[in-house]
Structure 1
């Protein structure tokens, strides 16, 4: 399973706690394993 989440930057200037910017960086999490009886068993 692979999860990809875009990076963001918040708290920018006068828009503190209300303005954010998406950047072209990503957090990529990859889980390797096999499914046994409906449960994920990690390696």
Structure 2
């Protein structure tokens, strides 16, 4: 949580980029796992 708050204080632009990257990685991992099961 501390790291999250630091990113939020760093700037909205940086926060948006980090959030998009994290969501993108999460989606890739989820899709990869689901495709792997099939």
- Judge same fold: TM > 0.5, yes or no: no
Pick the structure with more strand per residue.
1
Higher helix share: 2
| Greater length-normalized contact order (CA 8 Å, ≥ 6 residues apart) | 1
| TM norm structure 1 | 0.23
TM-score by length of 2: 0.23
